[in-house]
Each structure stands twice: as C-alpha cells, then as structure tokens.
C-alpha cells in the first residue's frame, strides 16, 4: 500500500510539467495564428477614429475640362455702329453719309469694283484711317461693314472676292512711308539711349496710336479739332489740365459727337489713348 502511494506521488510532478508545457504551446499558437483580414484593425479603431475616417472619405470627383474661348462674331451692322458711324453718319472729313440722299456718293466710290473699296478701307484713304481705326477688325469684317453701309443707302452690292484673296494684296499696297518711318526710327541719334526705356516706349505708343486713330481729324482740323502743332488752338485746352484732356479722349465728349470715346476705336487701351494725348500735347505747346 505504501509503495503504491509512493509511486503516484512521484508521477504528480511529471504531469504538472506536461500540463505547463501544453499551456505554453497553445498560447504561442494562439498568438501567432493569422486573424481574418481587417478584423483586428476594425476592432482596434475607436469610434472617434471611425467617424473621422468616414468624414474624410471623398464624396465625389471633379473632372476639369478645358474649353476654348471663341470671340463673339461681329456683324457688319455691329461694326458700322462701333467704328464707322462716327464719321459716316455726319459726313465727317468728306465721308459719304449713311442715308438715301448719299447714294450717288457711294456709287461713285464703288464704281463697280467692290474689291477696290474693301482695300481702301483696309489700307486707309484720305481722312479714313486703316481698318476704320480699329486694327482688330479682320478683312472679312471690314467687307461685311461696307456691304452693310451700301445696303443702308440702297446700293446694290455685287459679290466681292473672298476676304482672304483681298488680304493677299494688302502688303503690296502698303505705303512706302512705312519703310521711311522704320528707317528714321533706326537712325535715331545716340542721345536717345540716355532716355529711359519707359519714356521711349510711351512716346512710340503715343505716336503710333495717333497715326492709327487721331490723325484723320487732328491733322486737318475737321469739325473744329485742334490741329497738332497749332499752339493757339491747343492753348485753351491745355489750360483745362491733362486730367481733363485724358478724360475727354478716353470717354468722349457728349457735347461734341465728332469726338467719340477713344477716337472711335474701342479696342484701344486707356494707356494708349493717354499716350496719344501726350504726343499731341508735346507737339503743340
């Protein structure tokens, strides 16, 4: 009996250690066993984290599409109102008027050759500046404007050659004076180099703007316009101050319909118009 009890006491420590080892093995297997994907992450995140992630999730997408901006087409009537009516409505500088009574004047200028009339408008003639003083006008738009004016006075218009064909002769018809102006600009004395670049640029801008939009009236004194270089005619205007002169040139003078805003060329910038005023004043003090 004592021997049996003694044998069972000897086996107890061995069973205890076996159980300990089994517990350790099971624990290690549990720790390193793979968990379902996302299960651990979802349980580890707090409710606040889940709310923040939900708030930051995109609610949609925006696709940017580049759109080309196409300039609005201008009809012949629109161009006449904006650029041509200033002179042609009142016959300024011997311009044929826009009424039935002037039909004969228009027929004389047309003389059966629509292309020649279009080229005169493109290149300028007499008191009319090139392209009616608006360099942004295309050859086709100028042709449309002429057709509109002829139709207004009752002149039947024959179909003109395409504007592209007419444009091909523009460079050949350019006056030789253009070459002389370029040459004179290249032959300026060295003293000009001492003038600031800004001053030179402003002077050139004023002169070019004057030749494009102002000369038709201010070279000849049409409608009581002060002729450039006439100190007596300019004196009372200079007394008003440059601010007043700038305002009249940029915005026009309601009391003088022959002095339209920006010389009848709305495409000119305020800076260019003011530079033209500076140019005229510098020649008329």
Flag the least confident range among 39-53, 211-225, 242-256. 39-53
pLDDT surpassing 50 at residue 79: yes
Residues 238, 241, 244: CA angle, nearest 5 degrees: 105
pLDDT in tens, 104-127: 888 888 886 888 888 988 888 877
For the chain, the domains span 76-173, 177-282
The predicted model gives 254-267 an average pLDDT of 78
3 state DSSP class of 117: helix
Flag the least confident range among 2-16, 41-55, 144-158, 192-206. 2-16
The predicted model gives 197-201 an average pLDDT of 59
Domain 76-173 is in which class? mainly alpha
Res 34: pLDDT: 63
pLDDT in tens, 60-76: 666 666 565 556 778 98
pTM of the model as a whole: 0.46
Smallest CA-to-CA distance from 249 within 229, 233, 263 is with: 263
Domains 76-173 and 177-282 share a fold: yes
What's the CATH code, domain 177-282?
A: 1.10.760.10
- Cα distance between residue 11 and residue 22, in whole Å: 17
3 state DSSP class of 254: coil
Res 139: pLDDT: 92
């Amino acid at each position: 009996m004592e021997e049996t009890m003694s044998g069972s006491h000897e086996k107890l420590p061995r069973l205890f250690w076996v159980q300990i080892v089994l517990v350790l093995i099971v624990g290690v297997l549990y720790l390193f066993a793979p968990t379902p994907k996302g299960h651990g992450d979802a349980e580890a995140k707090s409710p606040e984290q889940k709310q923040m992630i939900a708030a930051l999730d995109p609610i949609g997408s925006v696709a940017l599409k580049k759109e080309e901006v196409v300039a609005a087409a201008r009809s012949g009537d629109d161009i006449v109102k904006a650029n041509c009516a200033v002179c042609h409505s009142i016959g300024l500088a011997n311009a044929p008027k826009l009424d039935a009574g002037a039909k004969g004047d228009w027929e004389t200028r047309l003389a059966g050759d629509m292309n020649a009339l279009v080229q005169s408008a493109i290149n300028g003639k007499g008191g009319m500046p090139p392209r009616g003083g608006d360099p942004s006008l295309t050859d086709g738009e100028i042709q449309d404007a002429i057709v509109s004016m002829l139709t207004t006075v009752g002149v039947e218009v024959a179909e003109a050659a395409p504007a592209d064909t007419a444009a091909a002769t523009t460079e050949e018809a350019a006056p030789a004076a253009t070459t002389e102006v370029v040459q004179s600009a290249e032959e300026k004395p060295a003293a000009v180099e001492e003038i600031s670049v800004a001053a030179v640029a402003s002077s050139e801008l004023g002169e070019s703007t004057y030749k494009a939009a102002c000369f038709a009236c201010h070279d000849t004194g049409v409608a009581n316009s002060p002729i450039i270089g006439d100190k007596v005619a300019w004196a009372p205007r200079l007394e008003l101050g440059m601010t007043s002169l700038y305002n009249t040139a940029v915005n026009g003078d309601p009391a003088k319909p022959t002095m339209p805003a920006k010389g009848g060329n709305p495409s000119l910038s305020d800076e260019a118009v003011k530079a033209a005023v500076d140019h005229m004043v510098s020649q008329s003090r």
